[in-house]
C-alpha cells in the first residue's frame, strides 16, 4: 500500500530543533541573524495557522566561547559550562527578539537529563510546557549545559528534542541539519548514495545507514538523529530531517523541498496511555465515588473531590490504580500528589487545595492525559 507523505499543515503541535552549526556563523562566532529572522517568520506562520510551536535550540556554548575568547577545538567541562553560562543569555535574548518581532512571546526552559527521565521532574517540566502553550507562548528549550556533567547529560539536542516532543505531546518533530535527510550511505563519500524520502519504520537496515558527527560546533550526527527517531516514534511523534541552511527552511518544506519523513503508527495520546498502562508498576490505589467513576468513563480528569480513600505510600508522579466504589479497577494513572498530601485533599474541592496544603497544588488528582482506563 502506498503511504502518503505528510504535510506540515496537518500537525497541531510541532517541535523544531535548531543546531549550533545552523545558528552560529563558525568563522565569526556570531549568530546568523538574517537566517534566524527568516526561521522566526516561518514559526510565526505555523503559529498563525493555530499550531503550537516549541523550539529546541543549541548555540549557547558556541556563542559563549567567542565572547570569552576561548580557543577552538574541544573544551574542558568547566570551560563548556562557563561558555554556556555566558552564551545562554545572548541566545535567549536573540530568540525573544526574533519571535517578538512577530508578536510571539518566548519562554526559556533549560533541561537536564534528569528532568526528562525522573517522573516527578518530568511531570513538572511537562506542566510548565503545557501552560506556556496554553498561553500561546513559544517555549525555547536547551540542555542546561551550565550544570550538566558528562555523566548526566544528553550531549546532543537531537535526543533532547525527541524527549521534549514526547513530553509535550507533539505530533511532529523537525530536525534541521546540514543535510536534506537520510541517505543509503554518506553522500559526501559515496556518489552512489540514494536519498530516502520516507521511513515507515526504523529497521536494522535503516539503523545501519546512520553516520557520525560532522562538525565542531554540532555534537549531533545522523546516528543521534536516528536515535531521536526511535524515541519520537515510541512516543507517537512523526519526525522529519531537513536541510536547514537556507532561509525560511520550514516554508521550503511546505514548498516540497527534499527531506526525510519518519512515520509512527501511533499518536502522542495513545503512546502515552500505552506507556502508563503497561510499563509502570502501580505504587498504590485511589478509590473513587460513583460520580467520579462516571466522569472518568466520560473522559474527565480525576479531581480530589471524587476520591474517597487511598491505599499505598506513593510519591507524586508514581503510577496508581483507580478503583470504583466496588473495588473494581477502572484503570491507572500518574498521581499529582504524594500519598500524605492526597490524604489531606481527598474529598475536597480543588479551590480549597491551597488553603489546606499552603500552596496552590494541581487542580486534578490525576489529569486525563496521565490516565489509562480499562487496564489493571
pLDDT exceeds 50 at position 373: yes
pLDDT at 313: 94
What does the alpha-carbon distance between residue 367 and residue 262 come to, in Å, rounded to a whole number?
30
pLDDT at 218: 40
Q: How far is CA 340 from CA 21, 135, 247, in A?
A: 49, 32, 54
pLDDT at 301: 96
**For residue 217, what pLDDT band results from cuts at 50, 70 and 90?**
very low
What does the alpha-carbon distance between residue 268 and residue 139 come to, in Å, rounded to a whole number?
19
Task: Write the CB contacts of 38 (distance below 8 Å, at least 6 apart in sequence).
Answer: 247, 248, 249
**DSSP conformational letter for 324:** -
What does the alpha-carbon distance between residue 73 and residue 311 come to, in Å, rounded to a whole number?
56
**For residue 75, what pLDDT band results from cuts at 50, 70 and 90?**
confident
The alpha helices in 26-138, defined as continuous H runs, are 33-48, 60-68, 77-100, 113-117, 119-134
Nearest Cα neighbor of 228 from 252, 264, 277, 179 is 264
pLDDT average, residue stretch 154-160: 77
Better-scored residue on pLDDT, 311 or 157: 311
H or E stretch at 273: helix 268-279
Three-state DSSP class for residue 289: coil
pLDDT exceeds 70 at position 60: yes
**For residue 348, what pLDDT band results from cuts at 50, 70 and 90?**
very high
Strand partners of residue 31: 24
pLDDT exceeds 60 at position 289: yes
Better-scored residue on pLDDT, 269 or 181: 181
Please give the class, per CATH, of domain 8-266.
alpha beta
Nearest Cα neighbor of 290 from 326, 254, 264, 256 is 326
pLDDT in tens, 227-286: 899 989 988 999 999 999 999 999 999 999 999 999 998 888 888 888 787 767 899 999
pLDDT at 2: 62
pLDDT at 149: 56
**For residue 3, what pLDDT band results from cuts at 50, 70 and 90?**
confident
Q: Is the dihedral of CA 186, 180, 141, 168 positive or negative?
A: negative
157 is in an annotated binding site: yes
For the structural domain made of 273-373, what CATH number should be given? 2.30.130.10
Q: Out of 107-111, 122-126, 171-175, 237-241, which region has the weakest mean confidence (pLDDT)?
A: 122-126
Q: Out of 88-92, 112-116, 338-342, which region has the weakest mean confidence (pLDDT)?
A: 112-116
How many helices (H) does the chain have, and how many strands (E)? 14, 17
pLDDT exceeds 90 at position 156: no
What's the predicted TM-score (pTM) here?
Answer: 0.81
340 is in an annotated binding site: no
Q: Mean pLDDT highest for which of 65-79, 134-148, 270-284, 329-343?
A: 329-343
Residue 172's Cβ-count burial label (10 Å; 0-12, 13-18, 19+) is buried
17 is in an annotated binding site: yes
Encode 213-240: b = buried (16+ Cβ within 10 Å), e = exposed: ebeebbbbbbbbbbbbbbbbbebbbbbb
pLDDT at 215: 44
What does the alpha-carbon distance between residue 94 and residue 33 come to, in Å, rounded to a whole number?
9
For helices 222-234 and 157-168, the axis angle rounded to 10 degrees is 10
H or E stretch at 56: strand 52-57
pLDDT exceeds 70 at position 213: no
Q: How far is CA 221 from CA 19, 213, 277, 297, in A?
A: 11, 4, 34, 45
pLDDT exceeds 60 at position 153: no
- Residue ranges of domains in the chain: 8-266, 273-373
pLDDT at 1: 52
Three-state DSSP class for residue 168: helix
58 is in an annotated binding site: yes
**For residue 211, what pLDDT band results from cuts at 50, 70 and 90?**
low
Strand partners of residue 143: 111
pLDDT exceeds 60 at position 152: no
Mean pLDDT over each residue of the chain, to the nearest integer = 88
Phi, psi angles (nearest 5°) of residue 334: -95, 120
pLDDT at 112: 83
pLDDT exceeds 70 at position 216: no
Longest dimension (CA), the chain: 70
pLDDT average, residue stretch 146-156: 58
pLDDT at 121: 84
Amino acid at each position: 500500500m502506498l503511504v502518503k507523505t505528510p504535510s506540515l499543515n496537518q500537525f497541531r503541535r510541532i517541535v523544531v530543533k535548531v543546531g549550533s552549526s545552523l545558528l552560529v556563523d563558525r568563522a565569526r562566532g556570531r549568530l546568523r541573524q538574517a537566517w534566524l529572522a527568516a526561521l522566526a517568520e516561518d514559526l510565526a506562520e505555523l503559529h498563525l495557522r493555530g499550531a503550537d510551536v516549541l523550539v529546541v535550540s543549541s548555540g549557547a556554548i558556541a556563542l559563549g566561547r567567542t565572547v570569552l575568547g576561548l580557543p577552538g577545538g574541544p573544551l574542558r567541562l568547566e570551560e563548556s559550562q562557563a561558555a554556556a553560562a555566558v552564551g545562554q543569555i545572548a541566545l535567549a535574548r536573540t530568540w525573544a527578539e526574533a519571535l517578538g518581532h512577530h508578536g510571539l512571546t518566548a519562554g526559556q526552559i533549560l533541561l537536564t537529563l534528569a528532568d526528562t527521565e525522573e517522573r516527578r521532574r518530568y511531570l513538572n517540566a511537562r506542566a510548565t510546557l503545557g501552560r506556556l502553550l496554553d498561553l500561546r507562548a513559544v517555549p525555547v528549550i536547551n540542555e542546561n549545559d551550565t550544570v550538566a556533567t558528562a555523566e548526566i547529560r544528553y550531549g546532543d539536542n537531537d535526543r533532547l528534542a525527541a524527549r521534549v516532543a514526547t513530553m509535550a505531546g507533539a505530533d511532529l518533530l523537525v530536525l534541521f541539519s546540514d543535510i536534506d535527510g537520510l541517505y543509503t550511505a554518506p553522500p559526501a563519500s559515496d556518489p552512489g548514495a540514494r536519498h530516502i524520502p520516507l521511513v515507515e519504520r526504523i529497521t536494522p537496515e535503516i539503523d545501519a545507514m546512520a553516520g557520525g558527527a560532522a562538525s565542531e560546533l554540532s555534537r549531533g550526527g545522523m546516528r543521534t538523529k536516528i536515535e531521536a527517531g526511535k524515541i519520537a516514534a515510541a512516543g507517537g511523534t512523526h519526525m522529519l530531517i531537513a536541510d536547514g541552511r537556507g532561509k525560511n527552511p520550514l516554508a521550503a518544506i511546505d514548498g516540497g523541498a527534499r527531506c526525510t519523513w519518519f512515520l509512527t503508527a501511533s499518536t502522542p495520546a495513545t503512546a502515552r496511555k500505552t506507556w502508563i498502562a503497561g510499563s509502570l508498576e502501580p505504587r498504590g490505589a485511589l478509590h473513587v465515588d460513583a460520580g467520579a467513576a462516571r466522569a472518568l468513563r466520560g473522559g474527565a480528569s480525576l479531581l480530589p473531590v471524587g476520591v474517597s480513600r487511598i491505599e499505598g505510600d506513593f510519591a507524586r508522579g508514581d503510577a496508581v490504580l483507580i478503583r470504583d466504589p466496588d473495588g473494581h479497577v477502572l484503570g491507572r494513572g500518574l498521581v499529582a500528589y504524594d500519598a500524605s498530601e492526597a490524604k489531606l485533599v481527598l474529598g475536597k474541592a480543588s479551590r480549597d487545595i491551597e488553603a489546606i496544603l499552603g500552596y496552590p497544588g494541581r487542580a486534578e488528582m490525576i489529569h486525563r492525559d496521565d490516565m489509562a482506563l480499562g487496564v489493571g
